[in-house]
Amino acid sequence: MAMFEGLADKLQDTLKKLRGKGKIDEADVTAAMREVRLALLAADVNLKVVKDFVGRVKERAVGQEVLASLTPGQQVVKVVYDELVALMGGDTARINLASRPPTVIMLVGLQGAGKTTTAAKLGLFLRKQGRRPLLVACDVYRPAAIKQLEVLGEQLDLPVFNLGTEVSPVDIAVKAIAEADSQGRDVVVLDTAGRLHINEELMDELRAIKVRVKPQEILLVVDAMTGQDAVNVAAAFNRDLEINGVVLTKLDGDARGGAALSIKAVTGCPIKLAGVGEKADALEPFHPDRMASRILGMGDVLTLIEKAQAAVDADTIREMEMKIRKADFNLEDFLAQMQQMKKMGPMDQLLGMLPGMNKMKALKDVEIDEKEMKHIEAIILSMTPEERRNPQVLKDSRKRRIAKGSGTSVQKVNQLIKNFEQTRKLMKQFADFRGPKGPGKGGSKGKGKAKGGFRLPFFKV
């Protein structure tokens, strides 16, 4: 079920098939929306949230901006992405601090969500901001839960308050505040026991703590792997406690984390922090934009699309394609194309933004390409315009001059010319193969075929 390896690719395929028609209409967008729906469901976004969302996106996607664009597939992805980011909240949310200390932060959630670990991480996080936190062990139920917090506190050199398992969590919380006051601790982090949102008795206990200690922040801790039920859980905790925010844990796993979207949609509460590892410092501010990319399974592809759109205008692409078809695509065009690419940013960064790009592996190769591209560029730049347009004129003496001028060798220059010729032939064949109706004959038809011309031939020097 590798269904979401790139919603971007899927959409591209879906919409590409439709391009023969010359125009994309509402029905085509509906087809694309089916892919969006599947991708979101595979990411565990709640079905109801998906339905609402897809409805809204479709409205926008049917609008001019997408249908008229050169790359409707990418445009649809962009609309989906923008809406996702908007839904998850624009800016990174902050933790509320009390005007008069101590600030009380209460962590609540289901069993196994990661509250205790988060309590310790939060303690460290706050201390790094110059605060003096006190961790409080209010989980009197799970075996060794208090011990767990104590061990973590010891490891991080953070004080932990506990009264054993015989005192009620409400009393523990109340006494902890007094303790914090007397010790000059300005933030109190309450670690509560995991509980089901449908357990009345235990939800009452949380309400009682809330009433007694009036926390500035009640944070719902949610496992990023949570499925469809996330909405029920979040809605119930929010109804009973009016939570202020969410901490999403275990984001270092490979879950798409659609729960983030579901929870935001049903509670309206921002996701404030993200747990990204087992180590105590693996707690980060939450970034809605990154989460949107993750839910869609597509790296930073949106940034890439935006850059590409800004840098490459449609006319250039069309012109390029025409040249390829007539096989008079020359080194000058090639240079222009390379410079277009450069406007988008360094190759390794660009490729790093692509989904499924294994950083370590891919980037090593890319570095080589980048160097090669510099060589190619240097060689072409050392040629006269005439030589660029017509590489056949290059005799040995000229090649020696170019090699010297570009700081390469005659061998490299030869290689470039040979590779270029081969590539040009290939491109011509490719262009012919892709359709008999060239832009020269079909006029506007060329618009839809621009993609082949845009591809940069990465031949080696």
Partner 1 sequence: MAGFFNRLKESLTRTRQNLVQKVEELVTGRTRIDDELYDELEEVLISADVGAETALELVERLRQRVKAEKIGDPAGLKDLLQQEIAKVLGERTATVNLEHQPAVVLVVGVNGVGKTTTIAKLAHRCREEGRQVLLVAGDTFRAAAIDQLEVWGRRIGVEVIRHQAGADPAAVAFDALQAAKGRGVDVVIMDTAGRLHNKTNLMEELKKVNRVLNRAMPGAPHETLLVLDATTGQNAINQARIFDEAIGITGLVLTKLDGTAKGGVVVAIRAELAIPVKFVGVGEGLDDLRDFDPAEFARALFAGDGEEEEG
Ligand X SMILES: Nc1nc2c(ncn2[C@@H]2O[C@H](COP(=O)(O)OP(=O)(O)OP(=O)(O)O)[C@@H](O)[C@H]2O)c(=O)[nH]1
* Residues making contact with partner 1 (CB under 8 A): 1, 3, 37-38, 41-44, 46-47, 110-114, 141-145, 147-152, 155, 196-198, 223, 225-230, 232-233, 250, 252-256, 258-259, 278
Q: Does 112 bind ligand X (CB under 6 A)?
A: yes
- Residue list 403-442, contact with ligand X (CB under 6 A): none
Q: Binding partner of residue 223 among partner 1, ligand X, none, CB under 5 to 8 Å per kind?
A: partner 1
Are 312 and 21 within 8 A, CB to CB? no
Nearer to partner 1, 3 or 67 (CB): 3
Q: Does 368 bind ligand X (CB under 6 A)?
A: no
Q: How far is the CB of 199 from ligand X (least distance, A)?
A: 8
Widest Cα–Cα separation across the chain: 94
Q: How far is the CB of 306 from ligand X (least distance, A)?
A: 40
φ, ψ dihedrals at 98, nearest 5°: -75, 150
DSSP class per residue in 76-87 = HHHHHHHHHHHH
Q: Does 144 bind ligand X (CB under 6 A)?
A: no
Q: Binding partner of residue 192 among ligand X, partner 1, none, CB under 5 to 8 Å per kind?
A: none
Q: How far is the CB of 194 from ligand X (least distance, A)?
A: 4
Are 189 and 228 within 8 A, CB to CB? no
Task: Find the radius of gyration of the CA atoms of the chain.
Answer: 29
Which one of residues 127, 142, 388, 428 is an interface residue with ligand X (CB under 6 A)? 142
Q: Binding partner of residue 97 among partner 1, ligand X, none, CB under 5 to 8 Å per kind?
A: none
Are 449 and 321 within 8 A, CB to CB? yes
Q: Binding partner of residue 181 among partner 1, ligand X, none, CB under 5 to 8 Å per kind?
A: none
Q: Does 111 bind ligand X (CB under 6 A)?
A: yes
- Kindly state the helix (H) or strand (E) to which residue 419 belongs, with its residue range: helix 410-433
* CA distances for 398 relative to 379, 381, 382, 406, angstroms: 12, 13, 10, 12
Nearer to ligand X, 111 or 429 (CB): 111
Nearer to partner 1, 266 or 450 (CB): 266
Nearer to partner 1, 3 or 410 (CB): 3
Nearer to partner 1, 118 or 244 (CB): 118
CA dihedral 197, 202, 205, 207 (to 10 degrees): 20
Site mask for ligand X (CB under 6 A), range 196-215, x = bound: x-------------------
Can you tell me which residue has the tokens 């006029």? 443
In this structure, the number of other CB atoms found within 10 A of the CB of residue 332 comes to 17
Q: How far is the CB of 139 from partner 1 (least distance, A)?
A: 11
Token readout for 409 is: 């060798």
Are 135 and 149 within 8 A, CB to CB? yes
- Kindly state the helix (H) or strand (E) to which residue 221 belongs, with its residue range: strand 217-223
Burial of 331 (0-12, 13-18, 19+ CB in 10 A): buried
Site mask for ligand X (CB under 6 A), range 169-198, x = bound: -------------------------x-x--
Q: Binding partner of residue 289 among partner 1, ligand X, none, CB under 5 to 8 Å per kind?
A: none
Q: How far is the CB of 284 from ligand X (least distance, A)?
A: 21
Token readout for 189 is: 């982090």
Coil, helix or strand for 162? coil
Nearer to partner 1, 202 or 363 (CB): 202
Coil, helix or strand for 223? strand
Q: Binding partner of residue 346 among partner 1, ligand X, none, CB under 5 to 8 Å per kind?
A: none
> How many angstroms separate the CA atoms of 405 and 246, rounded?
60
Q: How far is the CB of 142 from ligand X (least distance, A)?
A: 4
Q: How far is the CB of 207 from ligand X (least distance, A)?
A: 19
Nearer to ligand X, 108 or 324 (CB): 108
Q: How far is the CB of 111 from partner 1 (least distance, A)?
A: 7
Nearer to partner 1, 1 or 211 (CB): 1
Are 249 and 284 within 8 A, CB to CB? no
Nearer to ligand X, 107 or 431 (CB): 107
> How many angstroms separate the CA atoms of 299 and 41, rounded?
18
Nearer to ligand X, 74 or 226 (CB): 226
Q: How far is the CB of 143 from ligand X (least distance, A)?
A: 8
Nearer to ligand X, 196 or 310 (CB): 196
Token readout for 270 is: 């921002």
Q: How far is the CB of 3 from ligand X (least distance, A)?
A: 28
Q: How far is the CB of 197 from ligand X (least distance, A)?
A: 11
Least Cα distance to 53 among 68, 70, 36, 67 occurs for 36
* CA distances for 276 relative to 139, 261, 427, angstroms: 23, 18, 46
Least Cα distance to 416 among 365, 374, 368, 364 occurs for 374
Measured in residues, the chain has a length of 461
Q: Binding partner of residue 454 among partner 1, ligand X, none, CB under 5 to 8 Å per kind?
A: none
Binding site for ligand X (CB under 6 A): 111-112, 142, 194, 196
